[in-house]
Amino acid sequence: MDLKAAIEHIQVSAGQARTPCIIHDPSLPPHQFYLCRFNGNAVEAELVDADPRGRDYVASDLDGVVAQIAFLHRNFGDLQTVVLVGDGGIIVYFDESTRRHSTFMPLVRSPAFKAIEDQEELVKTTQADLVWTLRSRFRNAVTPAAFLPCIRSLKFKRSADGGSEVSHGRESMGRQVLGEVSGVTEIPEEVGLGCAVYENVPTLTRCEVICAVNVHVEDGTFTLEPVEGEVRRVLSEAQQKIADHLKVLLGGMATVLPCSGIAG
């Protein structure tokens, strides 16, 4: 239906309402339309040129974020860009006053960090399962390094009075868990587990999470639990490292705010 036919249709169907209406002409760009108003019995059509709809860009890594910001600044000048780096991801607003265009990059937790945070693999876990988790999730990233072979060689047995004992090699130790691996004389109370916080920013967000060690002698299981505040600390540090890195790469093209996000 062309504009003339549309106006005639409005005149016939509007009746007594005579309310303004919008006509979208397929020959026009999406941000242009006709606003039709009644003037007496006649209909006047005004061409309205609205601002084009903002674009929502997506980036899969930090290089993509930087490339998009650089491209838009190179082609459209100073856009007063703001970069928010938070646990939910990296949000870039081009022209903070209107926030019409944006870029988003999700920050995806690594499987190893999720294992620490969720605790499903590290609470009341069997000896075999703990050894497997440390080997597969935290390969060459357990401090002290003797902890894994020490745990692997421990042997649990039931004492004559029904209590539990732990033996390492030929030595029986009762409820006190001792070891003789690489100079370690006792299972440490804390261990460090190294991993990347975010799998799509692995090198930059590498961290060590300090975990308390609990040997459940009664059933031969183990718990490794992050000490108070450790998860919050490494998340904050990882986001700060990302923000600092972006500040260097972007120079004066953007304001970068670490540990930030959008509510709701």
User: pLDDT by residue (tens digit) across 103-153?
Assistant: 999 999 999 999 999 998 999 999 999 999 999 999 999 999 999 998 988
Q: Are residues 167 and 181 in the same domain?
A: yes
Domain assignment of residue 136, yes or no: yes
Contact 86, 260 (CB under 8 A): yes
Q: Are residues 32 and 129 in the same domain?
A: no
Closest CA to 253 of 113, 131, 71, 120: 71
Closest CA to 204 of 88, 61, 60, 64: 61
Domain assignment of residue 263, yes or no: no
Contact 64, 57 (CB under 8 A): no
CATH code: domain of residue 95: 3.30.720
C-alpha span between 223 and 243 (Å, rounded): 34
What confidence category does residue 31 fall into, taking pLDDT thresholds of 50, 70 and 90? Answer: low
Of 33, 49, 65, the position where a domain reaches its end is: 49
Structure tokens at 43: 């209909």
Type of residue at 217: V
Task: Collapse the DSSP code of 103 into the 3-class scheme (helix H, G, I; strand E, B; otherwise coil) and give the result.
Answer: strand
In the structure, how many helices (H) and strands (E) does the chain have?
Answer: 6, 18
Q: Are residues 83 and 23 in the same domain?
A: no
| Residue range of the domain that includes 93 | 56-107+238-258
Q: Is 166 left (phi over 0), alpha (psi -120 to 50) or beta?
A: beta
Domain assignment of residue 155, yes or no: yes
Q: Are residues 214 and 134 in the same domain?
A: yes
Domain assignment of residue 264, yes or no: no
Residue 35 β-bridge partners: 22, 46
Closest CA to 197 of 208, 206, 210: 206
**Which range is most confident: 55-59, 178-182, 183-187, 229-233?**
229-233
Q: Are residues 16 and 39 in the same domain?
A: yes
Question: Domain count of the chain?
Answer: 3
Q: Are residues 124 and 159 in the same domain?
A: yes
User: pLDDT by residue (tens digit) across 165-223?
Assistant: 554 444 444 444 444 333 344 788 999 999 999 999 999 999 999 999 999 888 889 99
Q: Are residues 78 and 146 in the same domain?
A: no
Beta-carbon count within 10 A of 165 CB: 17
Domain assignment of residue 217, yes or no: yes
Q: Are residues 91 and 165 in the same domain?
A: no
